[in-house]
Amino acid sequence: MRGMRLVIGLFAAGTALTTATACSHTDEAAGDVSPSNAVFVKVSNNNYLDMDVFAVSRGVSTRLGMVTGNGSGSFVIDRSLGGSDVRIVANPIGGSGRATTGSLAVAPGQTIDFRIAPALGNSSVIIR
């Protein structure tokens, strides 16, 4: 029994260390996005379904994360994903359809404010 507690303790410590490492930010060379090259994405989900949120640029889809139903989330994308043809797409988890911003032209330092409507086709976007 004591050995099992030791294994569980080591597992918990390893998990905590992995989580802390995954959430730490060092520098851009390590793959982080610097604020000068960043495009910010704010998603307000006014739909009751959770949404998977993606940035799509040059035909490549990059998952940003998930926003819970009637919740909000903030994401950062690298400027390399930006340009004249970037889209933010939200797919409902456990539902059908999708909400999309359409093609956007964004510059570093700007924020894409994407509001997902209860009826996905009525979603809207503002660039600030």
Give the pLDDT confidence of 97-127 residue by residue, as tens digits.
Answer: 999 999 999 888 899 999 999 999 999 999 9
pLDDT at 25: 38
Long-range contacts of 115-124 (CB under 8 A, 24+ apart): 115/43, 115/44, 115/46, 116/43, 116/44, 116/45, 116/46, 116/47, 116/51, 116/67, 116/90, 117/46, 117/47, 118/46, 118/47, 118/48, 120/47, 120/90, 120/92, 121/97, 123/90, 123/99
**Is 26's pLDDT higher than 60?**
no
Provide CB contacts within 8 A for 25, sequence distance 6+.
Answer: 32
Provide CB contacts within 8 A for 27, sequence distance 6+.
Answer: none
pLDDT at 32: 54
pLDDT band at 21 (very low <50, low <70, confident <90, very high): very low
Q: What is the pTM of this model?
A: 0.71
pLDDT at 107: 86
pLDDT at 81: 62
pLDDT digits (tens, 9 = 90+) for 36-86: 678 999 999 999 999 999 999 988 899 999 999 999 999 999 766 655 679
pLDDT at 22: 43
